[in-house]
Amino acid sequence: MRDLTPTQDLRLALLQTELAWHDPAANRAHFEGLLAEVGETDLVILPEMFTTGFSMESATLAEPADGPTAAWMRRQAQRLGAVVTGSLIVRDADGQYRNRLLWATPEGELLHYDKRHLFRMAGEHEHYAPGEQRLLVTLKGWRIRPLICYDLRFPVWSRAQDDTDLLLYVANWPAPRRGHWNRLLPARAIENLCYVAAVNRIGSDGNGHPYAGDSQVLDFQGEPLVEAGAAAGVFHTTLSAAELIAYRQRFPAQRDADTFSLD
């Protein structure tokens, strides 16, 4: 890892809330109200499928890749002067449906990551096409890798290869498996020597599945900086570049990491 990256602190805002089932306009309006409370930040993180809830009705709910939610995210990013990210249901140019994370910048750029690991226990693999590429973005010198929900269970896909300062997970992670969520997130931080930010939803969806929230930010030792619990709201924290660099210099486990490639 480069010894001097990143060089500036990074401000995060996590939005944990209930979602209106299958109602993109209502969810955009709700999040717009929450965004009005954010204040100064560098990165705003919304949950997985934040416009609909976690739904298998891809053919009914999908938006074009540059549809109304993408335009809305661009507007919010420009207004806030911050990146806005979260996932939604998209129909791409070749007609396939994707659980797609959008990364909207204040400058109007729109990048994306398509969820690689589709949750087969809910039949997600039958309604969506998997992603094939990881996304690595840079913000204020921070190398950030966004991932989606079930990706958390797969350490190879999450593994940093001397290239990641912040792992970011957006999710609709059900309450019955919250113990897994709360154990796997610290593991990803510790094994990658990086910060982890994870945003989940609360409430129940249209299928009656409950969500406990537990959105959180962890440091490079898996220690919590933010723990949202089951509360709704906007949760802020600032990641320290100096503390991250100092820890990696003091405990350079990455020098002994195994090399590997992904198919």
**Tens of each residue's pLDDT in the chain, 263 residues:** 444 479 999 999 999 999 999 999 999 999 999 999 999 999 999 999 999 999 999 999 999 999 999 999 999 999 999 999 999 999 999 999 999 999 999 999 999 999 999 999 999 999 999 999 999 999 999 999 999 999 999 999 999 888 999 999 999 999 999 999 999 999 999 999 999 999 999 999 999 999 999 999 999 999 999 999 999 999 999 999 999 999 999 999 989 998 888 87
Token output for 132: 């094939």
Cis amide bond preceding 6, omega within 30: yes
* Residues in the chain, overall count: 263
pLDDT on residue 1? 41
pLDDT on residue 259? 86
Q: What is the pTM of this model?
A: 0.96
10-252 has which CATH code? 3.60.110.10
Contacts of range 180-183, beta carbons closer than 8 Å, 24 or more positions apart: 180/153, 181/152, 181/214, 182/214
Question: What is the torsional sign of CA 20, 21, 26, 31?
Answer: positive
pLDDT on residue 263? 78
Q: Where are the domains of the chain?
A: 10-252
Question: Which member of 48, 63, 124, 194 is catalytic?
Answer: 48
> Is there a catalytic annotation at residue 115?
yes
Nearest Cα neighbor of 196 from 230, 222, 173 is 222
> Is there a catalytic annotation at residue 191?
no
pLDDT on residue 260? 84
DSSP 106: T
Question: Which member of 37, 40, 57, 115 is catalytic?
Answer: 115
CA distance 224 to 216: 7
CA distance 67 to 102: 12
pLDDT on residue 145? 98
pLDDT on residue 226? 98
Question: Which member of 32, 40, 126, 149 is catalytic?
Answer: 149
> Is there a catalytic annotation at residue 48?
yes
24-35 and 68-80 helices, crossing angle to 10°: 0
Nearest Cα neighbor of 90 from 34, 117, 122, 129 is 129
